[in-house]
Amino acid sequence: MSPQAAKELQQDPLPSGRPRAFWAVFGVVAAGLLGYSAVGDTFALSNLANFLLYVPMALGLGLLWGYCGVLSFGQAAFFGIAGYVYGLIAGNLVDVAGGTLVAAAGGIVGAALVAAAFGYFVFYGQVSGWIIPLLTLVLSLILETFMAQTAGYQWRIGRVLFGGYNGMTSIPSLRIGPVEFSGPTTAFYLLVVGLSLLAYLGLRSLVGSRYGFILVGTRDDIERTRMLGHNVDFMQVQVFTLAAALAGLSGVLYVSWGNYMNPSNMGLLAATLPVVWAAVGGRESLVAVFLSTVALRALADTLAVRGGEYAFLIMGGLLLGTMLFFPAGIVVSLARAWQRRTQSFGPRASRLAKSEREPGVLK
Amino acid sequence: MSVGTPPVSGEILLQTTDLTKSFGGIRAVDHLTLTIARGELRCIIGPNGAGKSTLFSLLTGLHRADSGRILFRGEDITRLAPFRRVQKGICEKFQTTRIYRRLTVGQNLLIPRAMRGSENGQLKWALETLGLADEIDRPAGELYHSHQQWLEICLALATEPDLLLLDEPTAGMTPDETALTAQFVVDLNAHGVTVLVVEHDMAFVRYIARQVTVLHYGRIFAEGALAEIESDQDVRRIYLGEE
């Protein structure tokens, strides 16, 4: 790994400039992911698409928590809101051309609007930093509880039933013209790869901009940043809303993949998982969040197949272990260790070379 | 930049009227009426607990006044949000250094909101004068203490303020660094920035100040030219501890 790559992995915030090495690595990864669609079987592609579809939600949390300093358990709530809104609109517009696109936009905008309203009261109300995780968790749990009691035919809009704890079923997949983006299709896989990479690139460019530095300033000293002329309350609402929109994108992709949404997607476990993904990889690095989200989704999937409920215990253990031993995240810590090693090797090598010319220097 | 005659004008830049702030039963600022002319370089001195830092917090909006008014360029800003006051032209360097220690000097300077959008010649001059221009790529947390203090002054200057509030700008500095800071403040004032300084170091005050306000129990105890203030027996008693 090059020193530049190690720095990129720590990304706090981005080093200035756009190193060619980054684009070379990015190009290889993108080509690899896209090329995999030609060789992977349907099951593998569908699985990988399922892991990748959570990336926008996790990156949103990386931005909000890692760069803006706001820990939120609300990503699951916005994931669920977008999924349900998409299901309601798509189910009713199933016969209309472009209906699922309207539904996708509706889902994402719905999640963003709820986040903007919630964020307005939280951030303009100057709610203390440690209360926000609790409030966002409560938001997720309230939505889960509310949706769980929507069983019965009275809970319907148009032809779509809410479904209570059994969930909303038969949700149509996204469709653009003749192409349907359902779970087991190559088209869906390519869409998810494209959107997750785009989400990453977009956020990377945001955190590398002046706005990104102001966000980091807000995280490190909110009062100082306010006293340098910034409306930090408004900026926090903006970032909270953007993170929610990204969670909404994941929610829309999820229902398009599985044609199904149920309240447990907004429950305690679902609310905690994005926090685990961001913390384990390293919340201050978008690359680390990207990698850990896919890796931990894959790990959870493998464990679930082999060990049932033990997957959740292992995820919880990972979170505790990371917080205790790698507070900056595993990927970020490894990158830092690598950078220290490569940096210390240089001077040591030159000292050794010097000692050969001048015996006794290192004695 | 050379030191010129301080460009004090007759125009009132800042005026507080009956400004009052209490914390619990303690009245930190007590019906304070203060007038600062554009171009002034004013030192505010007083014993610990006199209300100097609280006064700054009221001017910047960090604390809300219980009563009284603050007029800045004739506009009532008493209820204005802190960031709006910065946009109006008031910025503070805090008592304890508050910079972004994990960012480089250059990245720190990206954060302040510049009001005019054009190149900030004053900031460029300040960075060069204070020796920070050569440390642009250095993490701020690795700077010497004095350089960190200077960086925070530069952060405030990056907002292009009309009124700069400096709360103990030389705390923890060596005599040489204090002298450089004093000369810098005088030059900055000559550049047209109105400066209000809270400082305990009397050598620093003697060097920079033409006008001094003495606070005691949140009220103005004495005000005037430095020589008058220093010869005032009551000031010597409350501030310098002389019998």
- The answer to whether the CB atoms of A228 and B92 lie below 8 A apart is no
Query: Does A231 touch chain B if contact means CB atoms closer than 8 Å?
Result: yes
Q: Is B41 helix (H, G, I), strand (E, B) or coil?
A: strand
Query: Does A226 touch chain B if contact means CB atoms closer than 8 Å?
Result: yes
Q: What is the mean pLDDT of residues A333-339?
A: 86
Residues in chain B: 243
Query: Does A340 touch chain B if contact means CB atoms closer than 8 Å?
Result: no
Residues in chain A with CB shorter than 8 Å from the CB of B62 are 223, 227
Q: What is the mean pLDDT of residues B205-218?
A: 88
Q: Which of A228, A285, A332 to mutate to test the interface with B (most CBs of B within 10 A)?
A: A228
pLDDT at residue B121, as a whole number: 82
Nearest to B90 by CA among B70, B110, B65: B70
Inter-chain CB pairs, A–B, below 8 Å: 63
Residue type at B5 in one-letter notation: T
- Name the residue of chain B whose CA is nearest to A210's CA: B110
- The answer to whether the CB atoms of B91 and A228 lie below 8 A apart is yes
Least confident of A53-57, A249-253, A311-315, B68-72: A311-315
* Alpha carbons A312 and A318: distance in angstroms, whole number: 10
Among A216, A223, A229, the residue with its CB nearest the CB of B112 is A229
Q: Is the model more confident about A303 or about B104? A: B104
pLDDT at residue A22, as a whole number: 86
- The answer to whether the CB atoms of A220 and B102 lie below 8 A apart is yes
pLDDT at residue B231, as a whole number: 82
Among A217, A221, A229, the residue with its CB nearest the CB of B86 is A229
Helices (H), chain A: 3-10, 20-39, 42-52, 55-61, 75-92, 99-124, 131-148, 186-207, 210-220, 222-226, 232-258, 268-281, 286-307, 310-325, 330-357
- Name the residue of chain B whose CA is nearest to A224's CA: B98
Residues in chain A with CB shorter than 8 Å from the CB of B137 are none
Q: What is the mean pLDDT of residues A285-314?
A: 86
**Is the bond leading into B47 cis (omega within 30 degrees of zero)?**
no
Query: Does A229 touch chain B if contact means CB atoms closer than 8 Å?
Result: yes
Q: List B194's β-bridge partners, or say none.
A: B163
pLDDT in tens, A306-335: 766 677 788 888 889 988 999 889 988 888
- The answer to whether the CB atoms of A214 and B102 lie below 8 A apart is no
- The answer to whether the CB atoms of A224 and B103 lie below 8 A apart is no
* Alpha carbons B87 and B163: distance in angstroms, whole number: 11
ipTM: 0.90
- Name the residue of chain A whose CA is nearest to B60's CA: A227
pLDDT of A14 strictly over 70: no
pLDDT of A237 strictly over 50: yes
Query: Does A14 touch chain B if contact means CB atoms closer than 8 Å?
Result: no
Among A210, A220, A227, the residue with its CB nearest the CB of B86 is A227
Query: Does A13 touch chain B if contact means CB atoms closer than 8 Å?
Result: yes
Residue A138 CA neighbour count, 13 Å, CB half? 6
- Name the residue of chain A whose CA is nearest to B113's CA: A229
pLDDT of B114 strictly over 50: yes
